[in-house]
Amino acid sequence: METVNILIEALPYIKKFHHKKVMIKYGGHAMIDSDAMSSTARDTVLLKYVGMEPMVVHGGGPEISRSMSKLGKEPKFIGGLRITDSETMDIVKMVLVGKINTDIVSKVCLHGGKGIGISGKDNQLIKANKKAPHVMVDNSTGEEITVDLGLVGEIESVNTEIMEMLAENNYIPIVSPIGVDEVGNTLNLNADTVAGDIAAKMEAEKLIILTDVPGILEDPKDPETLIKKVKVDEIKDLIDNGIVKDGMIPKVLTCVNAVENGVKSAHIIDGRIKHSVLLEIFTTKGIGTMITK
Using CB under 8 A, pick the residue from 35, 144, 169, 246 that binds its own copies: 169
Q: How far apart are CA 137 and CA 141, in angstroms?
A: 8
Query: Binding site for substrate: which residues?
Result: 60-61, 82, 188
**Among 69, 62, 54, which residue's Cα sits nearest to residue 31?**
62
Judged by CB under 8 A, which stretch of 143-151, 179-187, 208-216, 231-239 contacts its own copies? 179-187
Using CB under 8 A, pick the residue from 83, 147, 167, 279 that binds its own copies: 279
Using CB under 8 A, pick the residue from 46, 194, 200, 258 that binds its own copies: 46
Angle between helix axes 86-93 and 61-70 (nearest 10 degrees) is 120
For its own copies, the closer of residues 8 and 242 by Cβ is: 8
Q: Which residues contact 189 (CB under 8 A, 6 or more apart)?
A: 120, 126, 128, 152, 153, 154, 155, 177, 178, 179
Q: How far apart are CA 208 and CA 25, in angstroms?
A: 6
Closest distance to its own copies from the beta carbon of 1 (Å): 7
Judged by CB under 8 A, which stretch of 5-13, 20-28, 77-85, 250-258 contacts its own copies? 5-13
**4 is a site residue for its own copies (CB under 8 A):** yes
Q: Which residues contact 183 (CB under 8 A, 6 or more apart)?
A: none
Largest CA distance in the chain: 72
Judged by CB under 8 A, which stretch of 20-28, 38-46, 147-155, 234-242 contacts its own copies? 38-46
For its own copies, the closer of residues 125 and 248 by Cβ is: 125
Q: Is 26 left (phi over 0), alpha (psi -120 to 50) or beta?
A: beta
Using CB under 8 A, pick the residue from 111, 206, 251, 267 that binds its own copies: 111
**Binding to its own copies in span 91-110, by CB under 8 A:** 93-99, 101-102, 105-107, 109-110
Bridging pattern class, strands 134-137 and 144-147: antiparallel
**Binding to its own copies in span 55-74, by CB under 8 A:** 70-71
Q: How far apart are CA 25 and CA 23, in angstroms?
A: 7
**228 is a site residue for its own copies (CB under 8 A):** no
**124 is a site residue for its own copies (CB under 8 A):** yes
Using CB under 8 A, pick the residue from 119, 211, 254, 265 that binds its own copies: 119
SS3 52: coil
Q: How many CB atoms lie within 10 A of CB 34?
A: 11
Q: How far apart are CA 164 and CA 160, in angstroms?
A: 6
- How many amino acids of this chain bind its own copies (CB under 8 A)? 65
- Applying CB under 8 A, which residues contact its own copies? 1-11, 14-15, 18, 42-43, 45-46, 49-51, 70-71, 90, 93-99, 101-102, 105-107, 109-112, 114-119, 121-124, 161-162, 165, 169, 171, 178, 180, 183-184, 186, 275, 278-279, 282-283
